[in-house]
Chains A and B, each alone.
Chain A
């Protein structure tokens, strides 16, 4: 009894003295699914980065029979022109992750910049930026992406640019909302009164206080842009062959013979997309909980 009380006090003490980072880590670990997802993501990212070293064959080299079923030599079989599916899958993960991460970074930078400007300066700047945001949001998302992809030549970097330039309105709105409330806080007002330079107020006072929601929102943008890349590539308007991406590996399944008789060509890339996106979403959800200062002790 006494020991348990002491232990409980110890625990409370350690919670009271832990740093913000420790709190976030402790809260994050409570979400077992998210912790598992993080491990899965880490393994997949590592596999993608190390693709040139662990892939059994060159991704674009014709090394085996046409559409060979999985066997010892080719663990996931070969595709219609005899390339090793496992090797292509590793390189495809690499491309898909690259597109997702770069597009997310781009849209985050645009969204943060516009959101900061709109929220901090207010007035006409706010009006113009928010109306522009409304316009971009009024286009149906996938339609905008498809139209852009049809006008500009499809390809790896164009897809990144298109997704990046389309995904930012959500972040801009989020940042603007946060800045509006932060601008009224005493520490920001204090900075203004003290005559601190604008750069300092925006990037050293306001921005750090709005990083947590941006991070959480960023994970969902990452998941979404990976889904969009897959959909675009599936339709043949995204990453172009011979470069493999998870979406364009599924492209072959539009033909009935592949769909019916060669499941090893389309089920692995499809499952991999699902696993990646689910894992990213779980991590994002746990992050939201862990970073929220108001979340309950549980």
Chain B
């Protein structure tokens, strides 16, 4: 097990280095940061001095190694807009995003796991068709359109829910207030996640139900309930773990558009404003962070596999 994890981490390192190169390449492609400073009041001499100070006069690969060295010391650079350090900005915006995405993920799983299993067990029944159709609808509705519909119904027409932010302005915002602000974004996110999860779990359970050991279990007459809830469900844990693993990267990157629509003060909103301000150090910091999260997520998924499935030897 320890050896396997070590091996996986060693494989992940070249991928990560590749990602930093792509990151840095995009940053350079996007143009020199000095372009942001240019203006009638900035002299050529000052630009030249700045260029040397920032190390932009050196060749590309040296610049990359300087950047990488800074990165290894935990310095992600500074925002060009607010001059805050990127790591501090990410730190302060991470909480709301994790809260929003965590709650959505849990709710989508609570919906998808029973629905997917029900649908598989009752394959080709009316209930199955309903679940599958709804799941297609859930994953086909663009998040921003569903958000607009919900805002139209609950905020504009009924006046029940607030449509933007995390807390009501001017109040300290208790748990109830935050929860109220979360209802609509969570519905939108959970609907789209549940849509694809339901189909994935359904097809995995269907596959399990066709296995020989389940036929044996049925043949020995232990009853439908025990067959499904004991023999089938335990094996269905593997696909469920896969679903959770696939969703981990979504926890960070998935909510950009929804956060934008609902002005939820998370990483997505920060990234979106960084993108429109062309604040490259911030964008690169977020890209790097999410790439690490994806790699760690993949590793965790594989370890979880081994835990739920004793036949997988790592």
Contacts and interface: CB of A to CB of B under 8 A. Distances in A.
B253 A141 contact: yes
Interface stretch (B42-50, B52-60, B135-143, B170-178): B135-143
Nearest to A285: B136
A140 B148 CA distance: 24
Given A140-B252, A259-B156, A151 B15 contact: no
Interface in B1-59: 14-15, 18-19, 22, 26, 29-30
A138 interface: yes
A250 B261 CA distance: 12
A274 B133 CA distance: 13
Contacts of B271: 143, 146
B291 interface: yes
B145 A139 contact: no
Interface in B156-185: 156
A83 to B, nearest CB: 21
Interface string B244-273: 000001101110110011000000000110
B19 A259 contact: no
A145 B15 CA distance: 20
Contacts of A277: 140-142
A10 to B, nearest CB: 25
A16 B118 CA distance: 34
A231 B268 CA distance: 14
Contacts of B18: 131-132, 135
Majority-rule SS of B interface residues: helix
Interface in A180-233: 223, 227, 230-231
A227 B22 CA distance: 26
B183 to A, nearest CB: 18
A108 interface: no
B144 interface: yes
Given A146-B272, A147-B26, A270-B149, A139 B136 contact: no
Given A138-B295, A143-B271, A266-B148, 18 more contacts: A131-B15, A131-B18, A135-B18, A137-B294, A138-B15, A139-B290, A140-B254, A143-B256, A150-B276, A150-B283, A227-B140, A231-B143, A234-B257, A250-B148, A259-B148, A260-B152, A260-B156, A277-B140
Interface of B: 14-15, 18-19, 22, 26, 29-30, 124, 133, 136-137, 139-145, 148-149, 151-152, 156, 249-250, 252-254, 256-257, 260-261, 271-272, 275-276, 278, 283, 286-287, 290-291, 294-295
Interface of A: 33, 131-132, 134-135, 137-144, 146-147, 150-151, 223, 227, 230-231, 234-235, 250, 253-254, 256, 259-260, 263, 266, 270, 273-274, 277-278, 281-282, 285, 298
